[in-house]
Amino acid sequence: MADYTIDSVGTDSRHALFSDRVDTFRVAGMTLEDGSHLSLSQYPSESPDWGVDSYIKANGMPVWVHSPGERTTSVSAVSTEAAAALNLAWETQS
């Protein structure tokens, strides 16, 4: 049984670091059982994994925050089960 809810899936884009290239990536929002919220992203080269862009506790306290799709620092990934659910949500909404 999942202890999270997938709130949204979509796409976003950003300029690549030190380049005029624009990269498009998948984004998703997930609410955990305790009310905490995760903002997630996935570049095509990272599939099937999803990186955690932000983790905000239910009381609004930020635990981990960086820009959507940010990859200039290390990225934490969601569990394999959650990644599979996110990929399925992406495929069914496309």
When pLDDT is averaged across residues 16-37 and rounded to a whole number, the result is 89
Which spans in the chain are helix H?
80-93
Cα–Cα distance, 29 to 3 (Å, whole number): 14
pTM across the whole model:
0.84
Across the chain, how many H-helices and E-strands are there? 1, 5
Angle at Cα 61 formed by Cα 83 and Cα 25, nearest 5°? 35
Cα–Cα distance, 33 to 18 (Å, whole number): 39
When pLDDT is averaged across residues 18-34 and rounded to a whole number, the result is 90
Q: Give the other-Cβ count within 10 Å of 31's Cβ.
A: 14
Q: Tell whether the model's pLDDT for residue 56 goes beyond 60.
A: yes
pLDDT of residue 1: 45
27, 39 contact by CB (below 8 A): yes
Coil, strand, or helix at residue 38? Answer: strand
